[in-house]
Amino acid sequence: MEIYCNQIGMMIDFSYCVSVNEGLPCRNIIGCFQGRIDILTLLRERFTLDELEKAFKGLPKSRIERILESIQANS
């Protein structure tokens, strides 16, 4: 499943969204996929509570940081 990512500014695959943050989901994944799939259930099944806290707690990464991470991941 692909979706337009407002953070990166291009189409990306769902697999990127669930692993972009050092193997953890993007902090925006719930808003992006809510209504398309049962994202909350998927996250609860795939990640521990500690992992979810780590993913959704703290300051969000800037758009530039996400773009650089995307480039590094694809090279």
Q: What is the pLDDT along the chain (75 residues), one digit of tens a residue?
A: 899 998 888 999 999 999 988 899 998 999 999 989 999 999 999 999 999 999 998 777 777 887 888 888 887
For residue 66, the model assigns a pLDDT of 76
CA–CA distance, 2 with 71 (Å, rounded to integer)? 18
Residue 69 backbone class (left: φ over 0; alpha: ψ -120 to 50; beta: rest):
alpha
- Reported for 14-18, long-range contacts at CB under 8 A and 24+ positions apart, including other chains, are 16/70, 16/73, 18/46
Task: Domain of residue 34: give its range.
Answer: 2-73
* Rg of the chain, C-alpha, whole Å: 12
Q: Based on the structure, what is the number of domains in the chain? A: 1
